[in-house]
Amino acid sequence: MTIIFSIFIFSFGLVLGSFYNVVGSRLPKGESIMSPPSHCENCHHQLSAWELIPVISYIFLCGACRKCKRKYGVFHPIMELLTAVLFVIAYLCFDFSTELLIAWLFISLFTIIVVSDICYMIIQDKILVAFGIPLTFLRVLTPLEPWWDMLVGGLFGFGLFLLIAIMSKGGMGGGDIKLYLIIGLVLGFKLTFISIILAAFIGLFVAIVTRTKKGQPLPFAPSIAVGSLLSYFYGSELFNLYLRLLL
């Protein structure tokens, strides 16, 4: 049965991932999510039903508009695929449980803000609120061990990033600070701590690879997303491995 559920969840993740791409790339521009229907940015050709099938239509159309042949770029299909793969990983980790709902919301939050941060360097408050409230509620229903760990994690994540923002005089965006409040509430202290270390290393790596100059703005949400999800799914294993290397 697991394989059938996995295939179903993968398809569900692709469709949601496609929707999150629309949310992340339209909301920051003040556009409606529903209208106009998805269209080619170049020739305004409105996409038909089969052209909307995530990833598959991209492969069949060789990544180009059917009418004007303009290339679409691989960023959005990659985000759709990532959403689907992460949804399946979450299911394999948590089976059908409240924690699975938390995981799916957590992944969804990251998909949207990674898109909006990469496209516009913006993490929108309404997205943080829309996901922060149900995530907090579900974390209260499915508490960490001990229950107050969510408060410690939230205060730690928020406080540390606020401190970095003050010390770097605005080098850290307000969205990142508020985002870490939610991450802390979901993960608790230890995994939040691990996620920050991972995000810092990934951010540094990205800055080196993309040859970002000092003071030049770089979207940090992708590094936070990768660091937090790695920590959420494998944080305890990573921590034990680290301890074993030390001792």
**Binding track, positions 69-88, relative to Zn ion; x by CB under 5 A:** -x------------------
Task: Name which of 224, 203, 211 is nearest 123 in CA terms.
Answer: 224
CB-nearer residue toward Zn ion: 43 or 141: 43
Residue 138, C-beta contacts closer than 8 angstroms, at least 6 positions apart: 98, 101, 102, 105
Give the nearest distance from C-beta 58 to Zn ion in angstroms: 14
Structure tokens at 90: 């979450």
CB-nearer residue toward Zn ion: 68 or 140: 68
- Dmax over CA atoms of the chain, in Å, equals 62
Question: Is 141 a binder of Zn ion (CB under 5 A)?
Answer: no
Eight-class DSSP state of 49: G
**Binding track, positions 52-71, relative to Zn ion; x by CB under 5 A:** -------------x-xx-x-
Determine phi and psi for 71, rounding to 5 degrees. Answer: -70, 140
User: What is the Cα–Cα distance from 16 to 198, expressed in whole angstroms?
Assistant: 27
CB-nearer residue toward Zn ion: 50 or 201: 50
Give the nearest distance from C-beta 95 to Zn ion in angstroms: 43
Positions 25 through 44 that interact with Zn ion (CB under 5 A): 40, 42-43
CB-nearer residue toward Zn ion: 61 or 130: 61
Per CB under 5 A, the list member of 10, 45, 119, 190 interacting with Zn ion is 45
User: What is the Cα–Cα distance from 50 to 236, expressed in whole angstroms?
Assistant: 42
User: What is the Cα–Cα distance from 171 to 236, expressed in whole angstroms?
Assistant: 30
Question: Is 163 a binder of Zn ion (CB under 5 A)?
Answer: no
Provide the 3-class DSSP secondary structure of residue 39. Answer: strand
CB-nearer residue toward Zn ion: 64 or 204: 64
Task: Name which of 10, 158, 155, 144 is nearest 89 in CA terms.
Answer: 10
Question: Is 241 a binder of Zn ion (CB under 5 A)?
Answer: no
Range list of β-strands (E), 65-184: none
Give the nearest distance from C-beta 193 to Zn ion in angstroms: 47
The contact set with Zn ion (CB under 5 A) reads 40, 42-43, 45, 65, 67-68, 70
